[in-house]
Structure 1
């Protein structure tokens, strides 16, 4: 039988010491300023004897009935890790003032579009206009920018067309940037409170947070209309709320409300960018680890552990999903007018938008003599299309493409392959296996394929060119013949699986040579108007050879013949379709970019991103190298130290017995998991990657570094003054780096000589030659040509 758990002599002594430490006599004098900011927030851990081996008891789950010091201990932990003194309030106030100055300084400059403001400012304008658009990111952060811009009177007239385009005087871009700056300010405060909640001394948390407040990259992203600043705010809020929930017993009121706050923050994060999914994964991993401790704690019943697990599931998964879906609902309800972004979506989706031009109430029956439009189903390329322009390679015959807009050049006449040009007096359905020709109405040529290489995919032996060919009096040849093959599994059950029906029938067109009419995302060059290439494929993926008839007209069908339209999707159908499109487009962003970088380069800060350059000034996203490299070094050092400790533990040496060392390891591991959860997925992505994709991981890296910093200057350094001096020197160096590199944060004056002195490495590729030789030259350089939106529109119309 298993022995009843009991305390060892060591744990009894430890509990007695903790009990004495927790109780504060009523007549105890108030601590001095230095004592207040140096108050130790780490208490001894509880270790009890189990049937086989000692086990760690979670601080917040100590049984008050068996341990009379438990209430005092719980209150003491919360007290030591919560802001409750005037001294700390003054420290927080100073952080607010410093971070406000750093982030709010001269937000009106640059007075033109910076980096991805060209996208997210434009999306805000479209929200204001209720005009549908497409983006690979979820909607929340963009909606918030739109909300704040509309509060400031923005009418959506300025479209943020290109980087460097100056803002008209009636565009409230400063107010929009203010939202990003305030988000950055609150992120600074959340870092401080997160560090305090995880057991870092007040003055150490203050210095590390001060370093974060002036971290160059986070300052830069929080000054412009970009998604990164609100995203980091929500991630930071989730980290803080979750660490705060750990201070209270599970299922308690305070523990539950902070867990709920965590779920809300996670919902906000993932609704801003899918990076929030990595934050959810981090929280999930910590919950799983904590549940292992619950299972190992013999004083906690299994039934309670199950209740705890269910509560975490609801708060941390169900709540975020509800919020995420809600924001998409608001997104769909706001963007009610058709726009260019709707071309990525199905016709049924587009029919929910006002002003759409999707054919409705078309004839259901399709037959010989019907004039039809054919939509490609495997891509968002649109309709089978031809025009008078010819290929510049191959046969040099008439181009055939996929075109995303309704156009008369999308219309084709269906003919029987053995009776081309013959008009029937009665209607004849197109059946499965029917051999047809497709006659292009506008150019009077037929859809054709032959043994020529396609214009772009010329290296593919399995693809042949598709063209239009013919001349007056020519009825075509066997190269114009196509056999209809209905895909019964994809088509609507019933007649649509036997004969071709508009919208309901999905089919393939097999050429007489055996290849299938095919299209993919490849675009033709400018001579092909960058429309989507259409070829004849012998081994193409099946979904890329699938077509449907969207529009159908027939002179021989009675006017009362059955008509059909696309079915209107409900919210969940639109929700699922939008995510499929977002996923496919996102993973297709593989084009190279001059400032792209790779995940293995990020920890070393090998290069940044040029955001803006004009008026002999530049904005360049770049990290604070001192803090950046310190974080990377701390990650590597911890891995080495942990490996050594693991070896020593297997050799019988006791480790992790000292409370500060235990807390350091627990907190550091939790934050490093956050770092890895946000960093490792970057290696799996095949899309364009930039330095700003590292910032969520870097944030957790700073939290982890703070614990390494704390234990170094307060525990490893036996002389307290030495640790304090080292911490102060480090902070001064970080602030100095921010100051010397601030011209490329704010886009302010700099000289070539000053700039070149800061380029320590070749990869730090901000353009120093763009600056002037002497600062006095800036007095002669104009910085604005302010116009109104109406003036901008008038100038564009005149050109």
Structure 2
């Protein structure tokens, strides 16, 4: 019975089961659709909830950015550090007075625009650190508000970079919080300085390029073009503020090259494109990231020239032709034709030293044992006296005082006081064994056996052959005719035997601009002479590109000459570890000071994680070589493409400084520091990334138990997010504590006691009032 009943029961059960299966299969599509609909709705809710959380966080950090940048911005009410330069330039713009600076004009024009908006007339010239703004009625808070706004917006843009890159809320807050709570970024954006504009433009170029890259599957759409052009505009603003903005071009350019290389691949995942389409991609990027930025860059110089129409302190840096485009140019109005047998004074264009001589001779031996000619000393002298008078003699010895000296004429120069003729010969100069000595010989020698050695050629800059040689207006090189060396001087003083005056020698590098001299005046010409009577000159014009090229050449030259030592300069290897800062301002009575230094905890964390990222990449590459794949595709893609892009931005904004010979300061690291904060936020996401854990869970979980599998994933994801929030809290808490500790040095108040100052003397921080 039992056996009989069993199969009967089994058959009935199988029949019922068959009906149930049929029923389930009939309604399966509706059930599955219902599940998918619920899943999609849940996904949309999660996305919406995530967007709301991001928007709230963005609003919060933006508000805090404005608070930290504007808090106490009116203190101190005195000129601070490099405000002496950039405040002065704004005043010059407002007075339309020509000035010279090694930086492009964009950020300075913004300051001038702010001054114009508030009705400031530019009467104050920011001459000295410590000059009172209040006493001189300067709207300095309005000026400082501009970089403060830009600095606060940099906080917002940093968050948007992380958000657009797809990072979680904790990762976004870590990267943004390290900028928000950084004392260096705050300090630099509360003063009339250029770096707030530079850093914001650099950050915007990263953000806009990310938004452009995300539209790579909608190539040539309106949005695609918009973000491409905006990327180019941000890059242009960057390099139009300082020339180190070129590093952002290197960052974006490197990413573009990688992207184009991928497009060229015929085996690319999304399908090959034709060479014709590739050409369009290349041309679009060239237009958007090279051509248009260059046009924007030229535009700011056009505005610069259009505003600065009056003669000013920058005239000396420009050629006479350029100076003739400026109204009220006193020097050009006083230019006089030089005739043979005139007495003239000759002054070096850069060092302002006069060509000088006296009866004393060079010593028999120099300190290094070399033997000199023992001839009469020719030196550079800072003051004008009769020992600076030289008579211009023609090479043909024809005595005609009405004859004008012209460009490329061969002349001799007679020193009036000693009645000696200027000479150069193949004898090493006191300081430069490779340069020729300049001396003077008697007339008998000069017109006898040494007549060739006393011949010099007048070469007037940018003038045609035969052009008139004039005082003030003619910038010229005096080239020794037989040996083709140019008369040159430098600021290193001669020893006591030369009365610590400047050495004059013959420079074999004739083309360098430091060989330039100016015939300043004709002392032998009476003030009422007809040659000094000039009609009022008409302002001339020059083509824009000619003026631009001349200014560019002068800017690059003088920028490269900023090599002198500075007590607060630093080297690139100091910056990531924040080894020293810069003293901006002090007030002895209140013991207050502004010391430019970053947030040490924040900088050390970011620098450490830069090294960690390099180690992760190295470890991953080694693992792959051994056929060990420790990362899922999505995680590796984000690590290399996104975090790698941030690390590239840091490297391209940091390592080039090692190639520079000019003065460097801590503020040069600020763009690189922003990129290092992005790397830090991205690595928080990587270290506590739930994607790899979820993937591993899905691989090892029981596929016949989907309910248990989902629970495991949620558990792993929850732990991962909790870890990210803990890391975020720890990092930002440490950064906030350090930020608060150094606030008196950032905001300049309150004054600190000796003990309080000593407690803040970390590493090489050379603070005032420490004793």
Q: TM-score per shorter chain, which class?
A: 0.7 to 0.9
Contact 2:407 2:459 in 1 (8 A): no
1:414: which partner in 2?
A: 392
Contact 2:583 2:594 in 1 (8 A): yes
1:204 & 1:535 partners in 2: Cα distance? 62
1:398 & 1:178 partners in 2: Cα distance? 56
2:221: which partner in 1?
A: 252
Q: Is residue 133 of structure 1 aligned with residue 105 of structure 2?
A: no
Extract unaligned runs of 5+ from structure 2: 1-32, 365-373, 694-715
Q: Deviations over 1:610-630 (max 9, x none)?
A: 111113011111111222111
1:322: which partner in 2?
A: 295
Structure 2 vs 1, CA of residues 22 and 359 (structure 1 numbering), >3 Å: closer, same or farther?
Answer: farther
Contact 1:432 1:484 in 2 (8 A): no
> What is the correspondence of 1:705-724 to structure 2 with a 5 Å cutoff?
705-715=680-690, 718=716, 719=719, 720-724=721-725
1:216: which partner in 2?
A: 183
**TM-superposed deviation, 1:490:** 8.3
**TM-superposed deviation, 1:669:** 0.9
1:3: which partner in 2?
A: none
Structure 2 vs 1, CA of residues 534 and 184 (structure 1 numbering), >3 Å: closer, same or farther?
Answer: same
**TM-superposed deviation, 1:704:** 1.5
1:88: which partner in 2?
A: 54
1:509 & 1:257 partners in 2: Cα distance? 55
> What is the correspondence of 1:1-400 to structure 2 with a 5 Å cutoff?
28=42, 31=45, 39=50, 85=52, 87-169=53-135, 170-248=137-215, 249-296=218-265, 297=268, 298-359=271-332, 368-370=340-342, 380-381=350-351, 385-386=355-356
Extract unaligned runs of 5+ from structure 1: 1-18, 40-83, 771-799
2:431: which partner in 1?
A: 459
Contact 1:511 1:517 in 2 (8 A): no
2:307 & 2:222 partners in 1: Cα distance? 37
Contact 1:367 1:428 in 2 (8 A): yes
1:288 & 1:649 partners in 2: Cα distance? 25
Structure 2 vs 1, CA of residues 316 and 398 (structure 1 numbering), >3 Å: closer, same or farther?
Answer: same
Structure 2 vs 1, CA of residues 688 and 148 (structure 1 numbering), >3 Å: closer, same or farther?
Answer: same
2:456 & 2:362 partners in 1: Cα distance? 32
Q: Computing the radius of gyration over CA atoms, which structure comes out larger, 1 or 2?
A: 2
2:495 & 2:326 partners in 1: Cα distance? 31
Classify the secondary structure of the residue corresponding to 1:331.
helix
Classify the secondary structure of the residue corresponding to 2:488.
strand
2:559 & 2:175 partners in 1: Cα distance? 35
1:610 & 1:389 partners in 2: Cα distance? 47
2:143 & 2:404 partners in 1: Cα distance? 61
Query: Which stretch shifts more, 731-740 or 531-540?
Result: 531-540
Contact 2:569 2:665 in 1 (8 A): yes
1:654: which partner in 2?
A: 629
Structure 2 vs 1, CA of residues 350 and 228 (structure 1 numbering), >3 Å: closer, same or farther?
Answer: same
Contact 2:187 2:746 in 1 (8 A): yes
2:545: which partner in 1?
A: 572
Q: Deviations over 1:647-698 (max 9, x none)?
A: 2212223355341342132111111111111111100000111111111111
Classify the secondary structure of the residue corresponding to 1:769.
coil
2:653: which partner in 1?
A: 678
Classify the secondary structure of the residue corresponding to 1:604.
coil
2:34 & 2:735 partners in 1: Cα distance? 40
Structure 2 vs 1, CA of residues 400 and 357 (structure 1 numbering), >3 Å: closer, same or farther?
Answer: farther
Structure 2 vs 1, CA of residues 574 and 691 (structure 1 numbering), >3 Å: closer, same or farther?
Answer: same
Q: Is residue 510 of structure 1 aligned with residue 480 of structure 2?
A: yes
1:759: which partner in 2?
A: 761
**TM-superposed deviation, 1:609:** 0.9
Query: Which stretch shifts more, 677-686 or 345-354?
Result: 345-354
Q: Deviations over 1:723-756 (max 9, x none)?
A: 3222212211111111111111101123322332
Structure with the higher fraction of residues in helix conformation: 2
Q: Deviations over 1:189-213 (max 9, x none)?
A: 0001111111111343134312321
Contact 2:324 2:332 in 1 (8 A): no
2:339 & 2:34 partners in 1: Cα distance? 92
1:549 & 1:696 partners in 2: Cα distance? 45
1:58: which partner in 2?
A: none
1:20 & 1:255 partners in 2: Cα distance? 37
How many residues are treated as equivalent by the alignment?
685
Classify the secondary structure of the residue corresponding to 1:211.
helix
Structure 2 vs 1, CA of residues 352 and 651 (structure 1 numbering), >3 Å: closer, same or farther?
Answer: same
TM-score normalised over the length of structure 2: 0.77
1:608: which partner in 2?
A: 581
Contact 2:594 2:748 in 1 (8 A): yes
Contact 1:279 1:677 in 2 (8 A): yes
**TM-superposed deviation, 1:229:** 0.7
**TM-superposed deviation, 1:299:** 3.6
TM-score normalised over the length of structure 1: 0.75
1:624: which partner in 2?
A: 599
2:644 & 2:58 partners in 1: Cα distance? 27
Structure 2 vs 1, CA of residues 482 and 21 (structure 1 numbering), >3 Å: closer, same or farther?
Answer: farther
**TM-superposed deviation, 1:760:** 3.5
1:782: which partner in 2?
A: none
Query: Which stretch shifts more, 215-224 or 652-661?
Result: 652-661
Classify the secondary structure of the residue corresponding to 1:589.
coil
Classify the secondary structure of the residue corresponding to 2:133.
coil
> What is the correspondence of 1:556-567 to structure 2 with a 5 Å cutoff?
none
